[in-house]
A and B are shown apart, each in its own frame.
Chain A
Amino acid sequence: MQDRPHAAELAQAVREFIETEVLPGIDDPRLRFRTLVAANGLGILEREIALGAPLVRREAGSLARLLGHADPLPDDLDELRRLASDLNRELALRIRADDTPEGTLAHLLATVADKLRVASPRYLERYR
Chain B
Amino acid sequence: MSVAGSARAAPTVELELRERLIPLFGADIAIERLALLAGGASKEAWALDLRTPQGKRELLVRRAGGGVIHKETLSLEDEHRLLEVAFAAGVRVPKPFGYLGEIAGRPAFVSERVSGETIGRRIVQRPDLADARAVLPTQMAEELAKIHAIPAERVPFLGGSGARDVLGRLTEEVDRLGDAHPAIELGLSWATRQAPENSETVVLHGDLRVGNLAVNATGLGHVLDWEFGHRGDPAEDVAWPLVRAWRFGVDELHLGGIGEVEPYLERYNVLTGRHITLASLGYWEIVGNLKWAIGALTQSRRHLSGQQRSVELAVLGRLAAEMEFELLHLLERAG
Contacts and interface: CB of A to CB of B under 8 A. Distances in A.
Given A31-B3, A37-B312, A116 B185 contact: no
B251 A30 contact: no
A115 B186 contact: no
B318 A95 contact: no
Interface in A104-128: 104-105, 108-109, 111-113, 115-116, 118-120, 123-124, 126-128
B279 interface: no
A127 B182 contact: no
B16 interface: no
Interface residues on A, range: 35 or more
A31 B321 CA distance: 25
A120 B185 contact: no
A96 interface: yes
Contacts of A126: 249, 251
Query: What secondary structure prevails in chain B residues at the interface with A?
Result: helix
Interface in A81-107: 85, 88-89, 91-93, 95-96, 98, 100, 104-105
Contacts of B252: 128
Interface stretch (A5-13, A38-46, A69-77): A38-46
Contacts of B251: 126-128
Interface residues of B, number: 30
Given A95-B189, A124-B325, A44 B318 contact: yes
A3 interface: no
B144 interface: no
Contacts of B315: 37, 40-41, 44
Nearest to B3: A28
Contacts of B185: 91-92, 95-96
Nearest to B7: A28
Given A105-B331, A108-B328, A109-B332, 4 more contacts: A41-B315, A44-B318, A96-B185, A116-B321
7 contacts: A34-B312, A88-B182, A95-B189, A108-B324, A108-B328, A109-B329, A126-B249
